[in-house]
Structure 1
């Protein structure tokens, strides 16, 4: 099926060709559920097979476009099954119609039922410790005749690989389900398939978590309209936001631009045209170096200005409501300004929405002994009595920081960088901490997306200095995207 696909020997007959659809250079079968089940059991019933079957969805296709080894593993599989509404949309873009959504979560109970009837053996490999065991118990309750010949979690590391392979081979399963996530499970199967004495190895992603009821599935009505991904996003926003909020538009853009054309760069690599591939990569790296060296700072500044104007423009009505709430809740100005230390020690006036009572600075002296921040440089209290009612909300969601976009437009700050410190805090800095003043301060940064006030002062300095060694427009974009789930979760915001 792929460029170097393994042959599968079926007893007394050759498997007939199956209709396929190719999207972004990845061919998958376009068959009914019944045909897919029959094909899977053909592999398991045959006496001398060593087949692999994997699934492909929008996320898999995105990963494959930049991962040659994973791309090759999918091409080498005996069968790739379509999973999800994204694949159905891709089929339409190339003039095809998807016969059936063959996702593993729906197929697996049917596979287990038939395996129990035919006396075929199952081995479960992957997921966190205890998950596969729980899944095996639930399968035995549902399918008492199902023969589960082995269970092994996926956290065995490279040193335990030989022992795990020996354990699998001793059990000699007809079906090995591997749940290590994309692309690790496909790469693991591809690397060790020649050593595995199994008839069929299948990468199943998060199937174990669903089957063990560690993660609930979306309601049927949501799955029927192709929106199951939204349910996963609501359950695990911190882990899934990049896959769906960023990944889905990227997938749609790719299939719109490329249609049925394969990724030429990966094809040249896989077909042995290594000089072309490496020349392209070397040229791309040189271009990127020049861009970062000569245009990087200007590009970062344009990004700061563009995003700041967009947020202020689109969020204007909402910001007016916030200002009214602050004004009606307690006496005092809507905005709060404070002198902060900027790049190279320069001073500037930083703006915020007022989140404290007007006498907060005077009351600070009374609360100094209750400081919950280690190091005695910063002052932090989880239940600070100086904070107003709207202040607790806007601080939790970082809305109080929005007026600092004015500082960004003026050039005092950037969107990404170390947080600007107070002069009294900088006076307590040691030499290492003063290194963070080498960069323009920012609204968000590495320690803001890594725990915020839950981190100690030393941890914050370490993260800021780590950012200084890696700063650039690509790093800024990554941190801005990570800021979205960090703000939603509100961890360490007080």
Structure 2
């Protein structure tokens, strides 16, 4: 609608995202269209230093926590896309002064009926801030479609499991793991069946990509 703020979105690249982008180039335009790209990996931060680049890591879970802890966020209408009702209720109890709206996001694939319904529900919310918590790369594709359709407003953050950490549904690694760039190891130990392929098979490919990029 004329005069309303344009919709913008932020993505939070980590090692897994970059490895997947190297295998799925059709996702690159989704990342390229983002208004902001914020590093979510200590490993990427350190690899950048080898190139003489300053790439400061600011994990998505920390970003969402800091935003919601800021009293100014109580003036915003905030849509949360992805969590189930129990997890959303826990979030509301943790932040009782916030204007939070849950947008149901059932298991869905881009283009199916559930996907279209979730897009419409997010657009109808007309939120100032939208937290997309539906996993990579669905949340990034979802944000890109919202921007392309031109019906949503405000800012969307692609922040994965950040709400789960806030509500205690998932436990974050102790500070020592986070400061030393070993949060991936803690998560692997905590959920080996789900994460072994990501961290033991796909993750190490980032070093090959790093070396390949250095030869170009």
TM-score scaled by length of structure 2: 0.87
Q: Paired residue for 2:123?
A: 169
Cα distance, 1:95 vs structure 2: 1.2
Alignment: residue pair count: 211
Residue equivalent to 1:408: none
Distance change >3 Å, CA 185–CA 85, structure 1 → 2: same
Alpha-carbon distance in 1 for matches of 2:142, 2:74: 28
What's 1:472 paired with?
Answer: none
Match for residue 9 of structure 2?
52
| Partner residue, 1:104 | 60
Deviation at 1:156, TM superposition (A): 4.7
Work out whether 1:256 is the aligned partner of 2:211. Answer: yes
CA shift for structure 1 position 188: 2.0
Paired position in structure 2 for 1:226: 181
Structure 1 residues 73, 257: CA separation in 2 closer, same or farther (over 3 Å shift)? same
Partner of 1:186: 140
Matches within 5 A, 1:85-484: 85-98=42-55, 100-114=56-70, 117-127=73-83, 130=84, 133-156=85-108, 158-195=112-149, 196-259=151-214, 261=216
Closer/same/farther in 2, CA of residues 192 and 151 from structure 1, 3 Å limit = closer
Higher RCO structure, 1 or 2 (CA under 8 Å, sep 6+): 2
Task: Please show how residues 58-77 of structure 1 align to structure 2 within 5 Å.
Answer: 58-77=15-34
Partner Cα distance (1:143, 1:258) in 2: 44
Question: Does structure 2 retain, via aligned residues, the 8 Å contact 1:83–1:101?
Answer: yes
TM-score by length of 1: 0.40
C-alpha distance in structure 2 between counterparts of 1:87 and 1:103, whole Å:
12
Distance 1:217 1:155 in 2: 24
Conserved in 2, the CA contact under 8 Å of 1:116 and 1:147?
no
Looking at structure 1, the residues matched to 31 and 174 of structure 2 have their Cα atoms a distance apart, in angstroms, of 30
What is the CA-CA distance between 1:112 and the residue it aligns to?
1.4
Cα deviation per residue 1:53-99 (whole Å; 9 max; x = unaligned)?
0000111110111212211111110000001112112211211133x
- Judged with a 3 Å threshold, the aligned counterparts in structure 2 of structure 1 residues 194 and 114 are, in CA distance, closer, same or farther, namely farther
Q: Secondary structure at the match of 2:157?
A: strand
Q: How far apart, in 2, do the equivalents of 1:180 and 1:194 lie? A: 19
Q: Secondary structure at the match of 2:48?
A: helix
Q: Structure 1 154/209 Cα, relative in aligned 2: closer, same or farther at 3 Å?
A: farther
Q: Distance in 1 between matches of 2:31 and 2:116?
A: 24
Runs of at least 5 residues in structure 2 that lack an aligned partner in the other structure: none
Which residue in 2 is equivalent to 1:33?
A: none
Contact 2:106-2:114 within 8 A present in 1 as well: no
Counterpart CA distance in 2 for 1:159 and 1:260 is 45
Mapped partners of 1:135, 1:96: distance in 2: 38
Aligned-residue CA RMSD (Å): 2.2
Partner of 1:11: none
Distance 2:74 2:98 in 1: 9
> Any gaps of 5 or more consecutive residues in structure 1?
1-45, 262-494
Q: Whole-Å Cα distance in 1 between the matches of residues 33 and 120 of structure 2?
A: 24
In the TM superposition, residue 47 of structure 1 has moved relative to its aligned partner by 4.7
